[in-house]
Amino acid sequence: MTRERRPIPARALIVGAILAVAALGLTIVGGVTFLAQRDRTLTDIDERLISQIDVLDQVDELRVVVESGAVASAQDTPDNFTDLEAYLRAAVSRLIPGRNEASIAVIDGRIAFRSANTLSQQIADDPDFVAEAVATAKPADQAVIASASIGSTDLRYIAVPVSQPGDDRTGVYIRAVDVTRELEPVTLSLLTYTAAALATLAAIGIVGWFVAGRILSPIRRMRETADSITPTDLRARIPADGNDDISDLSRTVNSMLDRLEGSMDNQRQLLDDVRHELKTPITIVRGHLEMMDVANPADVASTRDIGIAELDRMTRLVEDIDLLSSAEGDQFEISLVDVRELTERMGDLVGGFPGHSWSVAGIARGVIEGDYDRLLQAWLQLADNATKYTPQGSPIEIGSTLDIDSVHLWVRDHGPGIPPAARRRIFHRFARADHRTVGGSGLGLAIVDAIAKAHLGTCAVTDTDGGGATFTITLPITQGRSELLPSPVRAGDVVLQREATG
């Protein structure tokens, strides 16, 4: 079985990428600088070698003709030098070489005179170099600049052919420069730059390692937090300090964990509530079945009716749970909803609820964004809830109003009302006011509250003047979510608030 390769840590990848880019940049800068200094040094050497011709002119009033970059040979030497040997002796003795330079005079291939320094001695000990320099200058009969090597020493030299009227001998004046020593400052600068670059890379690597670790520490904590989360414990959170992108990501993950924890808590609570609610009908049916006298038709029929009634109640409970799950699952189709049309439709539907006198007390005109069917469902649920807790024959009013930033859909009854202590609890699952025994699953108001929250709204209960309770769904008109627009005015509309403008 092959072992899975461990991926390279992100911290190492970041530092490696930074070092690679920095090393490439330092190499390019150092290389370009070295080449520029080297070329400048070589150019200076060539200029110094060519200047030897001018110096020879000063020694001998030698005429030099420069044509097309070539230095012409020396001719017409004045009479103050009786022969070639005297002229070359004067040239070598008067043209004192600088540091890292050598001056040599050659007559008929033989070194006649040389300057007294180490480089001249090194050249004199290498007859091959002398022969090469003479051979290079003699055929062209003009000064020639060339390069050569003596052992580990690189040379740059100029060979100037010299002749004397009346003297048949052939002379060559050689001026050589030790290029290796001339380039030593440049090479030393390159070595210094390399050491500084390596120190800089080391500093970048160390600082980058700690900075990358600092930047990636929230991600590491995020991973550790994710590892510590279990289905039974979602309390772990990521520290989110600062205002950078990583901190924003940490806060986003914490918000996601909050939603997950809330969802898990709701599921656990729902399962607990369902288990509690289903236990009663199951116990009732089982108890009647165990005590039923199968030989007594009346007892069998009675037990059957009880079983069917309890099964119907469980069916309604399952349907309400499914409805609540859909409402909490944000399964909505958002579109433009005409509040006036929604109110009129609500008035038509509640007329079918028997036992009460229904009336539409107010109709608002406006258009908002929402799920028409879900809003109608929540409003009808409030009306159904009012019929259960309101005495037979008492009036119930519905209506809609609007203000500058919200729309209100309300149902007002004239029953016993809701105690203030129970007004928040009744919107929880399976909760009932005063624990009164009323038909239903106890999920109706929880469904209304879930639909209202899905529309960024709320559902609340207040007292009705003269006794009773008023349930109101408040839908905010928020920028980017809803927009209040005027709807057509029709005869018979009852407007409780001022007309909205678009």
Same domain, 90 and 170: yes
pLDDT surpassing 50 at residue 17: yes
C-alpha span between 386 and 394 (Å, rounded): 10
pLDDT of 437 above 60? no
- Tell me the CA distances in angstroms from 429 to 274, 442, 448, one per residue in order: 9, 6, 11
The verdict on residue 346 lying in a domain is yes
* CATH number reported for the structural domain that contains residue 70 in this entry: 3.30.450.40
Parallel, antiparallel, or unpaired for β 66-67 and 142-150? Answer: unpaired
| Same domain, residue pair 265 and 382 | no
Query: Do residues 343 and 446 share a domain?
Result: yes
Q: Count of residues for the chain?
A: 502
Q: Average of pLDDT values for 170-186?
A: 85
pLDDT digits 0-9 by tens, 272-296: 766 766 776 777 777 777 788 778 8
The reply to whether 315 and 349 lie within a common domain is no
Residue range 424-440: mean pLDDT, rounded: 58
220 assigned to some structural domain: no
Higher local confidence (pLDDT), 247 or 37: 37
Q: Taking the chain, what is the end-to-end CA distance rounded to the nearest angstrom?
A: 71
Q: Does 55 fall in a domain?
A: no
Q: What is the pLDDT of residue 26?
A: 92
Beta sheet of 167-178, edge-to-edge order: 66-67, 70-72, 142-150, 153-164, 167-178, 101-107, 110-114
Whether pLDDT at 140 is above 70: no
pLDDT of 434 above 80: no
DSSP E strand boundaries for 73-129: 101-107, 110-114
Domain boundary among 328, 350, 375: 328
Tally of structural domains, the chain: 3
pLDDT given at position 489: 37
Considering the domain architecture, whether residues 469 and 341 belong to the same structural domain is answered as yes
Instruction: Judge whether 130 and 104 are in contact, CB under 8 Å.
Output: yes
CB 324 within 8 A of CB 381: no
- In this prediction, residue 138 carries a pLDDT of 67
Which domain CATH number covers 451?
3.30.565.10
Question: Do 120 and 250 belong together in one domain?
Answer: no
Query: Long-range contacts: 425-431, Cβ < 8 Å, 24+?
Result: 426/461, 427/459, 429/269, 429/270, 429/273, 429/324, 430/273, 430/276, 430/277
- Most confidently modeled range among 76-90, 239-253, 315-329, 377-391: 377-391
Asked whether residue 8 is assigned to any structural domain, the reply reads no
| 3-class DSSP assignment, residue 460 | strand
| 457-480 burial code (b ≥16 CB/10 A, e <16) | bebbbbebeeebbbbbbbbebeee
Mean pLDDT, residues 367-386 taken together: 85
- Other CB atoms within 10 A of residue 45 CB: 22
Most confident of 18-22, 290-294, 374-378, 441-445: 18-22
30: in domain? no
Do 311 and 355 lie in one domain? The reply is: no
Plot region of 50 (φ>0 → left; ψ -120 to 50 → alpha; else → beta): alpha
Q: Per-residue confidence at 247, pLDDT binned at 50, 70, 90? A: confident
CATH for 257 = 1.10.287
pLDDT confidence band for 231 (50 / 70 / 90): confident
Last residue of a domain, one of 159, 180, 201: 180
Task: Taking residues 230-249, report their average pLDDT.
Answer: 75
Domain enclosing residue 312, as ranges? 245-328
Does the residue 408 lie in any domain?
Answer: yes
Mean pLDDT (whole number) for 217-241: 77
Residues 318 and 360 in one domain: no
Q: Which of 313, 328, 343 is the last residue of a domain?
A: 328
**CA nearest to 136, candidates 167, 116, 157, 153:** 157
Q: Do 173 and 250 belong together in one domain?
A: no
